[in-house]
């Protein structure tokens, strides 16, 4: 017990992140970071896979952790003329970035990563809170009966 006397002990409780607006921002920022990695892989011509760990039970009744690939749907797609459209999604719903506009048109694929980074900075700064809240409400309505 003498080892613990050298430490400064305090009574502390971790504060939970209870602000729903901040939770939505963090969720979208995580998804944007994932899309940035997907876009980097796309522009470099390589594939990007995201793995997740699952707990499975074998036929013998033994539980083990297994890594499996998780599909990441790209938020960007090619259109005629070599241009690329980019849509920002919250869950399965696209965000309305301006009145009636839900996508960004880019002249070439090399602009995807800088645009996603710009959007991520805007999300962290809180510039898209209203659009995120609207998309969140739309998603929530889909779960009601």
113 is written with which tokens? 């990563």
Which pLDDT score, from 0 to 100, does residue 145 have?
66
Which pLDDT score, from 0 to 100, does residue 105 have?
94
Number of H-type helices and E-type strands within the chain: 3, 7
Rounded CA separation 46/23 (Å) = 32
Which pLDDT score, from 0 to 100, does residue 141 have?
81
Which pLDDT score, from 0 to 100, does residue 26 have?
93
Return per-residue pLDDT of the chain as tens, 145 residues. Answer: 577 888 888 888 887 767 888 999 999 999 999 999 999 999 888 888 888 999 999 889 899 999 989 888 999 999 988 899 999 999 888 899 889 999 999 999 899 999 999 999 999 999 999 999 988 888 888 787 6
Count CA atoms closer than 13 A to 135's CA, side-chain side: 21
Which pLDDT score, from 0 to 100, does residue 1 have?
58
Ranges of each domain in the chain:
19-47+73-143
Rounded CA separation 67/28 (Å) = 24
CA 120 from centroid of its chain's CA atoms: 10
């Amino acid at each position: 017990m003498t080892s613990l006397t050298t430490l400064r002990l305090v009574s502390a409780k971790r504060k939970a992140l209870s602000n729903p607006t901040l939770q939505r921002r963090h969720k979208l920022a995580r998804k944007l970071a994932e899309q940035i990695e997907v876009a980097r892989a796309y522009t470099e011509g390589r594939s990007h896979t995201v793995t997740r760990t699952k707990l499975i039970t074998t036929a013998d009744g033994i539980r083990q952790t297994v890594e499996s690939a998780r599909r990441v749907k790209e938020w960007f797609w090619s259109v005629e003329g070599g241009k690329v459209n980019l849509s920002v999604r919250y869950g399965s719903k696209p965000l309305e970035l301006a009145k009636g506009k839900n996508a960004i048109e880019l002249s070439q694929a090399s602009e995807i990563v800088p645009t996603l980074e710009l959007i991520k900075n805007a999300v962290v700064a809180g510039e898209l809170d209203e659009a995120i809240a609207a998309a969140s409400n739309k998603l929530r309505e889909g779960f009601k009966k």
